[in-house]
Structures are given as C-alpha cells and as structure tokens.
C-alpha cells in the first residue's frame, strides 16, 4: 500500500511540475471564466438566473477537450518513461509492478480530474455567492459523469502507453483512437448502418458503446429529459432503459471500459520487458 501511494504521489508531483498541467488547468479554468463572462453579458435582460446552462455548455466542451487531453498526457506516462530509460532504475527498486502501474494511474487520474472539477466547483461556488440556486443533484451527476469519462480515457491511455514502444507511436495511437471515437463511430459507422437499414436498436446500441456518445447523450438527458434533439433514438434509449437506467449505464459503462483497458495494459506490462 505504501508503494502504491508513493507511486501515485510521484505521478501527481511530476504532473504538477509539468508544463502540460499548467496549460491543462488554464484551459478548463479559462472555459469556465469565458462562459461566465459571455453568459453574464448575454443575459442582461433576464439576468444571470442559474447555473444549468453554463454547466451544460461546460460539459459539452469537456467532451471535446477532456478525452484528448487525458489521452495525450497519459500515453506519455509508460511509453515516455520507458523510452527515457527511467524504468531501468525505478523498477530496480522493490516496488511491486501492480503498485507502480495502478499507483501511476491513480495519480494521473487525480491530476486530470481535479482541474476539471475545480473549474466546475468554482462556478458553483460563484453561483452560491451570488445567491443563485445551484442544482446540487445535477452538479453531482455531472461530476460523476466527468469521473467516468476521465477514467475511461485514462484506461485507454494506459493501454496504448504499454503497447507503444515509443512516445511518438503512443501519441499517434492516442490521437487516432480519439478521432475514431469522435468521428467514425458517430458519423461514418452510423451512416453506413442506417443506409444498410440495420435495426435502430443495433445502431443506437453501437453508438452508445462509444463512451463519448454515452457521455454526450447522458449530458443531453440531464438538460432535456425527453432528449428531443436525438429524434427517434431517444425513444429507443428511454424505452429500453428509462432515464435512470440510462444514466446508470452512462456512468458505469465508461468506468468498466477504462478499467478493462487498464487491466489489459497491466497484464501486458507485467508480462513484457520493462525497460
């Protein structure tokens, strides 16, 4: 347990020293500040009446930015250390591989999630300060959704990081995965499936296997319980799972995916050459 905590701490401290973290924190902090500035400017007539719209916009921006940030910074973790020759020395110390791997992942999760959460929490705190009601239940679900999304891509990142023998290859792999999940599963694959007149349930089911899509859909559900913007897909989702059922799925599925990917990465890491 000590080795696990030390490995996690090591990763946290390393990340806090890195420039990417500063940039990363600034991006998410900047988004919230930007949303406040524009939100307040554009609501002069009605005034700033609540946090819901800001949170929804923030979440939608997160879905575009968070995964690629998490992937790019995580894939450098194992592949970068291996490439730089850090493993030869650090893994000659009596650290169990499990403690090293999962400790690093936990540390990385802490640093990738905290700025995202802190920005959102700062927005909520501001709303409280202005005595504008904060829907804390909504805030909690958004937080859990972000945890779930960050964990999924962290797991993918760890897996790619173990598979790639250099950080260049790892970064390319990470970018391709993000592109595939962002574009292909949403647009290309679904377009093909619809044109081939596949059952709607299959099309929607496949789409929701994509953690980006399941997250995005859950975010829409929280803002628009009927999910009108999704059209017929909304019926399939709500008829099959119901609103609460779908939310549970959207929270659990990415966590399962991320854990599975990370576990596979660990298995490969343990079985292969370390340096």
Partner 1 sequence: MIRFQDVAKTFRRTAVLERVSLDILKGDRIALVGSNGAGKTTLIRCLLGEYVHEGRVWVDGLEPRRARREVLARVGFVPQIPPPLKMPVGELVGFAASVCGSDPARMVAVMAELGLDYDRIRRLPFVKLSGGMKQKTLIGVALGRPSDILIMDEPAANLDPEARHIFFRLLAARKDDGIMLITSHRLDEVAALVNRVVEMDMGRVVLDDRVADTVDMASRMACRVTLVRPDEAFARTIADWGFEGGGTHWRGPVNGPDRLRFFAMLSRYTGLIAGLEMAEGKREGNPCATEKV
Residues 6 or more apart whose CB falls under 8 angstroms from that of 81 comprise 87, 90
Give min distance, CB of 90 to partner 1, in A.
7
Whether the CB-CB separation of 49 and 43 falls below 8 Å is answered with yes
2 sits near partner 1 (criterion: CB under 8 A): yes
For 215, the token pair is 């997250």
The rounded distance, in Å, linking the Cα atoms of 110 and 104 is 10
Query: What 8-state DSSP symbol labels residue 197?
Result: T
Contact set for partner 1, span 75-114 (CB under 8 A):
84-97
Nearer to partner 1, 7 or 227 (CB): 7
Question: How many positions of this chain bind partner 1 (CB under 8 A)?
Answer: 27
**Residue with smaller CB distance to partner 1, 94 or 231:** 94
Contact map string, positions 253 to 272, toward partner 1, x by CB under 8 A: ------------------xx
Neighbours of 107 (CB within 10 A): 23
Name residues whose C-beta falls within 8 Å of residue 52's C-beta, 6 or more positions apart in sequence: 135, 138, 223
Check residue 45 for interaction with partner 1 (CB under 8 A). Answer: no
Least Å from the CB of residue 103 to partner 1: 11
CA pair distance 121, 114, nearest whole angstrom: 10
Backbone angles phi, psi at 224, to 5 degrees: -135, 95
Min dist CB 77 to partner 1, Å, is 13
Residue whose CB is less far from partner 1, 5 or 176: 5
| C-beta of 4 vs 142, nearer to partner 1 | 4
Least distance in angstroms from the C-beta of 113 to partner 1: 22
Alpha-carbon distance of 44 to 125, in angstroms, equals 21
Q: Could you tell me which stretch among 5-13, 30-38, 226-234, 243-251 binds partner 1 (CB under 8 A)? A: 5-13
Residues sharing a CB contact under 8 Å with residue 35, sequence separation 6 or more, in sequence order: 54, 57, 58, 123
Choose between 89 and 129: whose C-beta lies nearer to partner 1.
89
Q: Specify the residue, 93 or 228, whose C-beta has the smaller distance to partner 1.
A: 93
Question: CB-wise, 96 or 225, nearer to partner 1?
Answer: 96
| Distance (Å, whole) CA 168 – CA 153 | 18
Contact track, partner 1, 8-27, x by CB under 8 A: --x--xx--xx---------
Closest CA to 205 of 147, 249, 148: 249
Q: How far is the CB of 95 from partner 1 (least distance, A)?
A: 5
Which positions lie near partner 1, rule CB under 8 A? Answer: 2-3, 6, 10, 13-14, 17-18, 84-97, 271-275
């Amino acid at each position: 347990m000590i080795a696990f905590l030390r490995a996690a701490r090591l990763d946290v401290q390393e990340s806090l020293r890195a420039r990417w973290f500063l940039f990363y924190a600034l991006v998410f902090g900047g988004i919230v500040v930007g949303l406040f500035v524009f939100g307040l400017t554009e609501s002069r007539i009605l005034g700033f009446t609540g946090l819901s719209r800001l949170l929804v916009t923030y979440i939608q921006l997160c879905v575009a930015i968070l995964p690629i940030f998490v992937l790019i910074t995580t894939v450098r973790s194992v592949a970068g250390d291996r490439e730089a020759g850090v493993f030869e020395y650090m893994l000659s110390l009596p650290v169990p591989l499990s403690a090293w791997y999962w400790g690093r992942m936990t540390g990385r999760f802490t640093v990738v999630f905290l700025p995202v959460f802190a920005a959102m929490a700062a927005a909520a705190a501001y709303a409280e300060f202005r005595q504008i009601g904060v829907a804390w239940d909504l805030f909690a679900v958004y937080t859990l959704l972000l945890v779930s999304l960050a964990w999924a891509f962290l797991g993918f990142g760890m897996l790619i990081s173990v598979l790639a023998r250099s950080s260049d290859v790892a970064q390319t792999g990470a970018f391709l995965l993000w592109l595939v999940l962002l574009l292909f599963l949403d647009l290309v694959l679904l377009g093909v499936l619809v044109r081939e007149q596949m059952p709607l349930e299959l099309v929607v089911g496949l789409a929701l296997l994509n953690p980006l899509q399941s997250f995005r859909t859950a975010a829409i559900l929280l803002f628009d319980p009927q999910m009108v913007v999704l059209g017929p897909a909304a019926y399939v989702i709500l008829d099959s799972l119901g609103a609460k059922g779908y939310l549970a799925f959207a929270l659990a599925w990415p966590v399962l995916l991320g854990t599975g990917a990370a576990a596979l990465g660990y298995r490969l890491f343990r079985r292969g050459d370390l340096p």
